[in-house]
Chains A and B, each alone.
Chain A
């Protein structure tokens, strides 16, 4: 009789655990399979998968859509990357807003809104990070997921004890083998993120991309924030762009890509192709270690009293200095990225007239005046040829 009771208890406990696993699992499943709508602008030419340039990522979760905007007029070309680190979502949003509003008059533009698609499919571990955030638009609200920094372990696992970067042989942190921005220039027979980096390099090399812009966000305590990081060949255009931006729109720094720090896009993409490689950082309070509660509101508005204290103690590097009355709202961060992109294009055109690229994008002032949601179009009213899901 006691044995029977024991068995019944175990079955009940097991059933409860299965229900809990189902509830938790459903949340994880939804994040992984979440689909993001995109209504492309009138300049849109075609959409294709990155695996068209390298078969090695075909059918994997690293394969990601690429949006091409070709003016038909010969000129320069640019590859704009958002979502290299999906827990820096202003980068993905800047790329989406560019894709939905760009007008290309000369040359062509490739946009990858979710460069590390695999990392987009899981939430950040720890700190009770929210999985989604919502932006208000003129037609309702639009939901976005907040991914992680590195690839989903479902797609690339295990991590090695030591990650030896290819081809430099430099030892990097073990988890960085799942970090797209530590695996450039990649290799065709490496781990998934190395293959993803290789696929992006193949796109750059095959299409002779003139300008490569990789968007990022950084914690405010990280010295490389509110800045361009420029490869040797793109240093002049970034210096000029940072000076112009600082004089006319917002403070922007410029740093030279360190030669000894391997695997990062601003170094390897420049070294292993002829493109002008640029990485941009803007301030994201959401990922700061000293920030208080990690909430959706912090993601959208960036107001945090602990950061204010850190700012008063001179511990932050962002420019202008952090002020809780303003915070670091998402439209501010997106605006910085879009204006930063427009400015490097402008200076590329000045320095290299043969690579002239003429584009129109919403810029910092537009974002600050109208908000980010204004530039996202209603998928329900879009014509089918312009509506896609990532």
Chain B
């Protein structure tokens, strides 16, 4: 059970990193919603995932 708990816990960090990377890709390369405001939204949304992936917050 301990192993499973730790595995699930670590998967969440990996997921945070994957989402951060997806958002970075979305910021620089996307086919819809290409205006500046969406650039800002994409960029801003990266922060929580980045901080979680880096074990800061």
Contact = CB atoms under 8 A, between A and B. Distances in A.
A156 interface: yes
A385 B46 CA distance: 46
B51 A189 contact: no
B40 interface: yes
Interface in A17-35: 17, 20-21, 24-25, 28-29, 32
A127 to B, nearest CB: 17
Interface in A143-202: 154, 156-158, 189-191
Given A7-B28, A10-B28, A157 B12 contact: yes
A9 interface: yes
Interface in A23-69: 24-25, 28-29, 32, 56
A17 B44 contact: yes
Contacts of B50: 21
A14 interface: yes
B43 A17 contact: yes
A13 B39 contact: yes
B33 interface: no
B2 A189 contact: yes
Contacts of B28: 7, 10
Contacts of B54: 25
Contact of A9 (B36, B44, B46): B36
B5 A28 contact: no
Interface residues of B, number: 24
Interface string A1-17: 00000110110011011
At the interface, is chain B mostly helix, strand, loop or mixed?
helix
Given A9-B39, A154-B57, A191-B5, A25 B51 contact: yes
Contacts of A9: 36, 39
Contacts of A13: 27, 39-40, 43
Contacts of B51: 21, 24-25, 28
17 contacts: A6-B34, A7-B28, A10-B27, A13-B39, A14-B24, A17-B44, A17-B46, A21-B47, A25-B57, A28-B56, A28-B57, A32-B56, A154-B52, A157-B12, A158-B9, A189-B1, A191-B5
Sorted from nearest, which 8 A-B pairs have the closest CB atoms? A17-B43, A28-B57, A25-B56, A13-B43, A21-B47, A189-B1, A189-B2, A28-B56
Interface of B: 1-2, 5, 8-9, 12, 24, 27-28, 34, 36, 39-40, 43-44, 46-47, 50-52, 54-57
Given A24-B57, A32-B56, A157-B9, 17 more contacts: A9-B36, A13-B40, A14-B43, A17-B43, A20-B47, A21-B46, A21-B50, A21-B51, A24-B51, A25-B56, A28-B51, A28-B56, A29-B56, A154-B52, A154-B55, A158-B9, A190-B5
